[in-house]
Structure 1
Amino acid sequence: MTTNCIKFESAKIEDAKGAGSISTLTFDIDITVEPVKSANPMAPTHRVLGRSPRGRLVECGGIWKKQNRDTGADYFTLSIRDFGFNANLGKAAHQEDDTLQAVIPWGPKDAQ
């Protein structure tokens, strides 16, 4: 599988399980994502799970559904707590598979 992507089981991402990997200069992890059911509109749509150094599956982040203020379009963001990693999910260039989402990193707003 290509790195910095998540392959979901269906194009209806909100309800789908998925798996992928995230690689940066400081970490390289395989992840599993599981949908979360919640009535809280601020709750994540998915739990992000990674493996500990001893191989245990550990919750390490989440995926949230957001809405663009200007266009009203829905999009998803991902965070990995231990690394302070944040990203948007979206289609990678030249790919048509709606179940495959690229992990597109972004830094904190106060970074220079």
Structure 2
Amino acid sequence: MTTTTNYIQFDRDNLDTAKGAGLISTIDRDLDIKAVPFDSDNEKAPTHRVYAKSPRGHDIEVGGIWKKKNQDGKPYYTLSIRRLGYNANLGRFPGQDDPTLQAIIEWEPRD
């Protein structure tokens, strides 16, 4: 049994086109998630759609992953799950250097 929570394991280094699967754990739920690349000409569209399982086992779209740029112009990714009000950045776990394993780092939305 793994004790790693809040992560997405992608299937390749290029996260823009990679598929991923992972887990989001909060105080009141555990969500197995899938990230599926999404291609759009809209620059505000997510790079991925995020799916979780319904109680009967159906894949339902619950959110997305967006590629953004920080103040230095370097890209980073954010994850949002609308109905839960859940927002997070993706990044590396301390001490690991595998670019396909991304920690989900929750943050509180700004007012």
Quote the RMSD (CA, aligned, Å). 0.9
> d(CA) in 2 for partners of 1:88 and 1:38?
21
Identify the residue that residue 39 of structure 1 maps to in structure 2. 41
1:34-66 deviations in Å (ceiling 9; x for gaps): 000111110000000000111111000000000
Deviation at 1:73, TM superposition (A): 0.7
Partner residue, 1:13 = 15
1:97 is matched with 98
| Distance (whole Å) between structure 2 residues aligned to residue 82 and residue 26 of structure 1 | 14
Aligned to 2:75: 74
TM-score, structure 1 as length reference: 0.94
Deviation at 1:26, TM superposition (A): 2.4
1:52 alignment partner AA: S
- CA deviation after TM superposition for structure 1 residue 19, in Å: 0.2
What is the TM-score of this pair, normalised by structure 2?
Answer: 0.95
SS of the residue corresponding to residue 96 of structure 1 reads coil
Q: Name stretches of at least 5 consecutive residues in structure 1 with no aligned partner.
A: none
Match of 2:32 among 2, 11, 30: 30
What SS does the corresponding residue of 2:83 show, helix, strand or coil? helix
What is residue 87 of structure 1 aligned with on the other side? 88
After TM superposition, what 4+ stretches of structure 1 lie above 6 angstroms from structure 2? none
User: How many residues are paired up?
Assistant: 109
